[in-house]
């Protein structure tokens, strides 16, 4: 294993290099970046002992979501044995794994080691196998089939690779900062914007997407859309069970736009949501730090992301601007995006950490519970503390990004301004993009309606058992975004 790879697992160290300062603005940015790095390292040394509140554990699901994989695993072995398919399967897997654009064998190795050698004594046996069976599902079912689909696109639709991604618009911010609401609203202007739907992230294959288009066309033509309504009603358009608090906090539907980092969750082995599958401190750090992956792997993953966008723009973009939110990009992906999309525009929505962090910690626990049957935020204090430390890094990375990105490509908005007057903030964004919203147009009416809807919006309720981080901890360890980030508009009197 290379030295660079080992850095991804151990605590990262920071090296300062001497550079020539040319302007006061650059000097300020570099000094701020250095301070961010120092503060991050100090935060990592904290143990979280000041967190006095004891978080109650959440009972494990009696039947974890991966149980069906046990049946699949058993039946697959039986079929291979009965029909003597071992040699043919070995050849099939060898070819598809070698050509696969998904994942990295070093990531698989780390995940497998974590799943097999680091069981939790206070976790039921069935829940301890979640990570192993997820790997089994990806390696022996998803990757082989999807590798074929990926290269089939290159054979049938090679011209998609010529599609230009011109001035993409990325909506950024920490989780629970209003980015989902803002993306959903902007995507309604479908004459100007084109976003990846969640099913297009999960299945970035033109053969599959054209098949979905064909079925959708027949449904509208022959059934008047009743087929879609039926599939929606029985929950087949939901990536997770759409019940309970998680649904209220974060919708996950295949037919709606979603955040771009889910491309990496669906097709690689490095994403913060894998923390539930491999709940150890080492794997939490690994899954939160895209920047620590080998350079070759980072570039390959970003190229995969670029091609997924090209395919959608080729199929239904028709000259529109690509729009996406990217809230987990603070793990290092945005640094790569700057190089891959040099003309990209960025809109950062900033919300007070004291208003968003506790909600975000709660949501991470709910997501891990639905994915694995285990709420890692409530059942694993060491994992929770490591996740908090990694989020401190993300917050400092946001400050550094805003201080070092050219204002020609960057717009910074306050969450409170958006909540108070959505149409005004959208108009400000369109001015930044050099676009105009025509009064009386379809999108203009949607904007006015969104303002009425926002007045009825209810904040997430944080119960006593969901107090996963104290306000004191947020004040002491997290950067004060509202003071440290320079906004594109001055604060109102009420905010200042």
Per-residue model confidence as pLDDT tens digits over 281-318: 999 999 999 999 999 999 999 999 999 999 999 999 98
What 3-state DSSP class applies to 171? strand
* pLDDT more than 90, % of the chain: 65
Instruction: Scan for tokens 């709420």, then name that residue.
Output: 375
16-25, 140-149, 319-328, 401-410 — which is least confidently predicted?
Answer: 16-25
From CA 262, how far away is CA 268, in angstroms rounded?
A: 10
pLDDT number for residue 24 = 39
Average the pLDDT over each of 97-106, 224-233, 304-313, 389-398 and give the range with the smallest value: 97-106
Contacts for 491 with CB less than 8 Å, ≥ 6 apart: 414
Each residue's pLDDT tens digit, 324-347: 999 999 999 999 999 999 999 999
What's the CA gap between 170 and 333, in Å, rounded?
A: 12
Question: What are the Cα distances from residue 85, in Å, to 26, 77, 139, 348?
Answer: 62, 10, 17, 53
Helix (H) / strand (E) element for 412: namely: strand 410-414
CA atoms of 467 and 54, how far apart (whole Å): 9
137, pLDDT greater than 50 = yes
Q: What does the alpha-carbon distance between residue 309 and residue 160 come to, in Å, rounded to a whole number?
A: 10
What is the average per-residue pLDDT within 26-33? 46
Q: What pLDDT sits at residue 459?
A: 67
Q: Read out DSSP for 319-384? A: TPEEEEE-TTGGGTHHHHHHHHSTT-EEEEEE--HHHHHHHHHHHHHHHHHHHHS--HHHH-HHHH
Q: For residue 126, what pLDDT band results from cuts at 50, 70 and 90?
A: confident
Q: For residues 151 and 99, is the Cβ–Cβ distance under 8 A?
A: yes
Query: Tokens at residue 126, please?
Result: 């069935």
Q: What's the predicted TM-score (pTM) here?
A: 0.85
Contact 196, 312 (CB under 8 A): yes
User: Residue 213: which residues within 8 A CB-CB, separation 6 or more?
Assistant: 315
Residue 453 zone, left/alpha/beta (φ > 0; ψ -120 to 50; rest): alpha
Mean predicted confidence (pLDDT) in 160-187: 95
Whole-number Å distance between alpha carbons of 122 and 130: 15
Q: Which of 43-57, 268-282, 345-359 has the lowest mean pLDDT?
A: 43-57
Q: What is the pLDDT of residue 212?
A: 97
Q: Report how far residue 224's alpha carbon sits from residue 226's, in angstroms, rounded to the nearest whole number.
A: 6
Of the listed ranges 88-102, 310-324, 424-438, 460-474, the one predicted with least confidence: 460-474
**Rounded Cα distance, 368 and 250, in Å:** 13
CA 322 centroid distance within chain = 17
Average pLDDT on 162-177 reads 96
Structure confidence by residue, pLDDT tens digits, 253-290: 999 999 999 999 999 999 999 999 999 999 999 999 99
> Residue 75 pairs with which residues in a beta bridge?
none
Nearest CA to 162 out of 310, 301, 321, 320 is that of 310
Measured CA to CA, the distance from residue 89 to residue 136 in angstroms comes to: 14
């Amino acid at each position: 294993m290379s030295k660079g790879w080992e850095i991804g697992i151990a605590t990262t160290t920071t090296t300062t290099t001497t550079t020539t300062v040319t302007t006061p603005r650059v000097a300020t940015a570099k000094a701020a970046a250095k301070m961010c790095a120092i503060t991050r390292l100090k935060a990592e040394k904290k143990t979280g002992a000041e967190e006095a509140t004891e978080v109650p554990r959440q009972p494990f699901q009696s039947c974890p979501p991966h149980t069906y994989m046990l049946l699949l695993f058993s039946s697959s072995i039986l079929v291979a044995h009965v029909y003597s398919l071992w040699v043919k399967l070995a050849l099939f897997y060898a070819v598809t794994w070698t050509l696969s654009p998904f994942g990295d064998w070093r990531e698989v190795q780390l995940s497998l080691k974590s799943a097999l050698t680091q069981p939790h004594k206070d976790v039921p046996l069935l829940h301890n196998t979640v990570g192993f069976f997820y790997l089994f599902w990806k390696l022996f079912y998803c990757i082989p089939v999807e590798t074929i689909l990926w290269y089939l696109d290159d054979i049938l639709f090679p011209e998609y690779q010529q599609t230009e991604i011109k001035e993409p618009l990325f909506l950024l911010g920490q989780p629970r900062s209003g980015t989902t609401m803002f993306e959903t609203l902007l995507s309604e202007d479908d004459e100007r914007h084109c976003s990846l739907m969640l099913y297009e992230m999960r299945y970035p294959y033109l053969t599959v997407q054209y098949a979905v288009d064909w079925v959708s066309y027949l449904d509208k033509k022959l059934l008047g859309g009743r087929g879609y309504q039926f599939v929606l009603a029985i929950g087949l358009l939901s990536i997770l069970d759409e019940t309970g608090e998680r649904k209220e906090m974060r919708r996950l539907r295949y037919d709606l736009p979603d955040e771009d980092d889910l491309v990496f969750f669906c097709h690689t082995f490095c994403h913060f949501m894998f923390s539930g599958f491999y709940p150890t401190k080492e794997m939490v750090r690994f899954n939160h730090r895209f920047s620590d992956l080998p350079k070759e792997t980072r570039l390959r993953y970003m190229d995969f992301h670029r091609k997924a966008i090209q395919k959608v723009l080729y199929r239904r973009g028709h000259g529109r601007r690509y729009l996406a939110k990217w809230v987990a990009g603070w793990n290092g992906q945005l640094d790569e995006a700057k190089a891959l999309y040099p003309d990209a525009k960025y809109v950062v929505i900033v919300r007070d950490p004291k208003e968003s962090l506790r909600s975000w910690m709660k949501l991470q626990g709910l997501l891990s519970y639905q994915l694995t049957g285990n709420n890692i935020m409530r059942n694993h204090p060491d994992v929770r503390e490591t996740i908090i430390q990694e989020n401190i890094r993300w917050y400092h990375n946001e400050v550094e990004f805003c201080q070092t990105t050219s204002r020609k490509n960057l717009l910074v908005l306050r969450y409170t301004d958006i909540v108070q007057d959505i149409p005004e903030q959208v108009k400000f964004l369109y001015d930044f993009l050099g676009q105009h919203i025509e009064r009386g147009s379809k999108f203009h009416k949607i904007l006015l309606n969104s303002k009425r809807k926002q007045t009825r919006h209810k904040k997430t309720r944080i119960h006593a058992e969901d107090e996963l981080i104290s306000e004191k901890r947020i004040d002491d360890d997290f950067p004060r975004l509202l003071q440290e980030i320079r906004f594109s508009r001055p604060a109102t009197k009420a905010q200042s």
